[in-house]
Amino acid sequence: MSTKDVIKLMKDEEVAYLDVRFTDPRGKLQHVTVIADEVDEDFLEEGFMFDGSSIAGWKSIEASDMKLVFDLDSVYIDPFYAEKTLCVHCSIAEPDTGEAYDRDPRGTAQKCEAYLKSSGIGDACYMGPEAEFFLFDDVKYSVAPNKVSFEIDADHAAWNTDSDFEMGNLGHRPTYKGGYFPVNPSDDGQDIRSEMLSTMKRIGMKVDKHHHEVATSQHELGLIFGTLTKQADELQKYKYIVHNVAQAYGRSATFMPKPIAGDNGSGMHVNMSIWKDGKPLFAGDKYADLSQEALYFIGGILKHAKTLNAFTNPSTNSYKRLIPGFEAPVLRAYSARNRSGCVRIPWTESPKAKRVEARFPDPSANPYLCFSALMMAGLDGIKNKIDPGEAMDKNLYDLPPEELADIPTVCGSLREALDALAADHEFLLAGDVFTKSQIEGYIELKMEEVQAYEHTPHPVEYGLYYSC
C-alpha cells in the first residue's frame, strides 16, 4: 500500500489511532499508539522515533535513539480495541544513516529473504509454522527469595476428574495424552478456537483449521504458509489473537513449551520450501520425491541443529520438552515415514507442496530469528552440499540402545544451545543476515535467563535434599 492508500483507509474506516508494532529480541510484540490526527503522508514516510535503550538487548542509554520504519503492506484493523485502531508492523533503522539496525529481528528476516535471492539458489522461501498452546482457567506463580512455586488449573483438565464444582462434575474430558482429538463434550475448546480462527480471518490472515492437541488443555490453529517475513508477522498476530480471545473468555493462553509435567509439551513444527522461477526447488526424484537440493537443505539443518536450538528453542523451559525417550523430536535424523526425528518430509502428491518440516522448534521462539536461522542453515547445506546421510525409516523411539547411541541429538539445555551458537555461527553471517554484534548481544541476553534459572532453588530440590 502507498502512503495515500493508508491515509484513505484511515479516513474511510474512521480510524482513531495508529498502533505502531515491532518485535524485541526475545520475540515479544511491543507497541506505541499514535492519534490519527498526527498521521499524514510525511509521518508514514519518515517513520517514528523511540527510545531503544528501554528494550532489553538493544542500545545503551547514551546512543538510544532509533527509528521505526512502517511496512504499509502489513496494516490491519485491531479486532480488540474499543477505539478503532489501525495496526502496522515495523522494522528498525538507525536514525542518522537510515540503515537497518542489525539487532532488529524483523530486519534479520528481511535480510534473509534478500540473501536467498542474491545467492541464486531461489527467489522465494515459504514458512508454515504449527504453533501449539495451552488454555488454563487459573494461573498463579511466585518467584521470591522465600517462595518459588506455580499452580495452574483448568476445569477441563485431566486432573479434575474427581474435583467438586458448584454445578457438579460432568466427567467428560480428555485423559493425559488423550486429547488428539475427540469431539465435544470431551473437547470443550470448539467455540473459543473457532472464534480465534474467525478473528484471524477477519483481519486478513490465511487460516484453515483448528483442533484439540494431544495434551490436556492443549490446542492448535492452522496457519496457511507464507513468505518468511510475512509469515513471522502472521505468527505474531496469531499469538496476539490467541492471548486476547482467551482473555475475553476469562481464560489464559500460554505458548510455554512445557507448562505441565508428565504430559506432552507444545511444539512449533516449521514447514519450509524454496521456489525459483515459479517452480518448487524441493521437488525431484530422490528420496521421498525430494530434489538433491532439498536433501542438502536437510543436511544443513541436521549439521547446525544445536546452533539452531538457540533460536528455535530459546527458553530454559524448552528443554523440559526436548527430552530423549519421549515424543519430542530430539534425534538428528530425517524420514518421510515417521515423526520421531528432527526433520520430516510430509507426504503429498503435488510437487508444489513438497516441503521439509523441522519438528524440534517450539512456540517460545522469536519467529523472525527462528525462520531466518532455519533458512540460513538449509542454504548452507545447499551451498556446501552437506549430505544428510541415510533416512531413518523406523521408529526411533524403539531402537535398541546400541543403535540409539550412534544418532546425534539436539541440545539438552539452553546453556548448551548458546555455547553451540558461540562456537558455530559463521553460516549465519553470510550476506550479513545475522551479525556478530547481534549474536553476541543475543547470547548475553539469553544467558541472563539461564543464570536466573540456574541460580534459583527449585521445589523439586526441597523434595530431594531438604532432609538429607
Domains of the chain by start residue, with CATH: 3-101 (3.10.20.70), 124-465 (3.30.590.10)
- Determine the Cα–Cα distance for residues 255 and 238; give it in Å rounded to an integer: 11
359 annotated ligand binder: yes
46 annotated ligand binder: no
* 130: annotated active-site residue: yes
* 213: annotated active-site residue: yes
C-alpha cell at 153: 488449573
213 annotated ligand binder: yes
* 449: annotated active-site residue: no
* 359: annotated active-site residue: yes
Instruction: Choose, from 269, 304, 344, 425, the residue flagged as catalytic.
Output: 269
Q: Are 236 and 23 in contact (CB under 8 A)?
A: yes
* 415: annotated active-site residue: no
* 220: annotated active-site residue: yes
Q: Can you give the pTM of this predicted structure?
A: 0.96
* 103: annotated active-site residue: no
14 annotated ligand binder: no
Whose cell is 551479525? That residue is 435
132 annotated ligand binder: yes
Q: Are 102 and 35 in contact (CB under 8 A)?
A: no
Q: For 201, left (φ over 0), alpha (ψ -120 to 50), or beta? A: alpha
Instruction: Choose, from 24, 78, 213, 233, the residue flagged as catalytic.
Output: 213
Instruction: Choose, from 153, 188, 339, 449, the residue flagged as catalytic.
Output: 339
332 annotated ligand binder: no
Instruction: Choose, from 173, 359, 415, 425, the residue flagged as catalytic.
Output: 359
The CA radius of gyration of the chain, in Å to the nearest whole number, is: 23
C-alpha cell at 61: 542509554
Instruction: Choose, from 19, 130, 234, 380, the residue flagged as catalytic.
Output: 130
How far is the CA of 44 from the CAs of 19, 64, 65, 300, in angstroms?
Answer: 12, 21, 18, 40
130 annotated ligand binder: yes
- Determine the Cα–Cα distance for residues 301 and 373; give it in Å rounded to an integer: 9
pLDDT in tens, the chain (468 residues): 999 999 999 999 999 999 999 999 999 999 999 999 999 999 999 999 998 888 988 977 666 789 999 999 999 999 999 999 999 999 999 988 889 999 999 999 999 999 999 999 999 999 999 999 999 999 999 999 999 999 999 999 999 999 999 889 988 988 888 888 889 888 999 999 999 999 999 999 999 999 999 999 999 999 999 999 999 999 999 999 999 999 999 999 999 999 999 899 999 999 999 999 999 999 999 999 999 999 999 999 999 999 999 999 999 999 999 987 667 889 999 999 777 789 999 999 899 999 999 999 999 999 999 999 999 999 999 999 999 999 988 777 777 888 878 889 999 999 999 999 999 999 999 999 999 999 999 999 999 999 999 999 999 999 999 999
21 annotated ligand binder: no
Instruction: Choose, from 13, 38, 41, 51, the residue flagged as catalytic.
Output: 51
* 349: annotated active-site residue: no
